[in-house]
Amino acid sequence: MEGESRVQKGAAGSAIGHNSENQTREEKIANLYHSKKDRVFVRSIQGAYNVKEELDRLRSVPRVRKAKDLGFIDGPQCFSRHYVEPKDGITQTFHLHLEEYAPGASSQKHGHVNEAAFYILDGDGYEIHDGVRYDWHAGDVAIVHNNCVHQHFNANPDKPARAIVIKTKPMYLFLNMLFQKTVKDRPVDVTPESEGFEAREIEVDFNHPKEGY
């Protein structure tokens, strides 16, 4: 099949959606993470030539980011938990986040220069990359290639899905590879499938199928 090569086969509380009934659709979209106007894509480094202060600071930073300290944001269809990005002062070249898709959810549709890898922890769904569909399920890795217009979908109308995402967006932007554009905003409307869904904040052993891959 044409789409098989893009998928590598393997062996809460939110300010949006159910907690924002009094907001207009435009206000909901403005509150999304992707709508932030003060997002730090690459943090600054300054000081003496030997950057000793920065090295000392990096060595003092905790190396474990606790899920319990990082709640999900957005919703009501797609929820994100941003584990590490440059603004946190730990990394400079990559961004790692967890995506939780409500039953039947669809994500924003957008494109960017950087690549990204989605390791599917739970559920069944598919991608649309430049008009081509690529199916995935738990244990697979979906690759978003450079300059690809893409969107993510949970194919199951009854169960959620989730993926851990790692991307080198900060490094690309540091190198002035700046093109990225939203084609369709992340949905802020509750669907019949996503109604009442709450992102699973507590980690339990639902990330891998009992029967294996």
Whole-structure pTM value: 0.81
Tens digits of residue pLDDT in 80-106: 999 999 988 888 899 999 999 999 999
Q: Pick the residue with more confidence: 6 or 149?
A: 149
For the chain, strand residue ranges (E) read 7-8, 73-74, 78-84, 95-101, 109-112, 116-122, 124-129, 132-137, 141-144, 148-154, 161-167, 180-184
List of domains in the chain:
4-184 (2.60.120.10)
Question: Which of the listed ranges 6-10, 54-58, 200-204, 206-210 does the model predict with the highest average pLDDT?
Answer: 54-58
pLDDT of 192-208, one tens digit each?
999 999 998 876 666 66
Region of 176 (left: φ > 0; alpha: ψ -120 to 50; beta: rest) is: left
Which two tokens mark 196? Answer: 């009442």
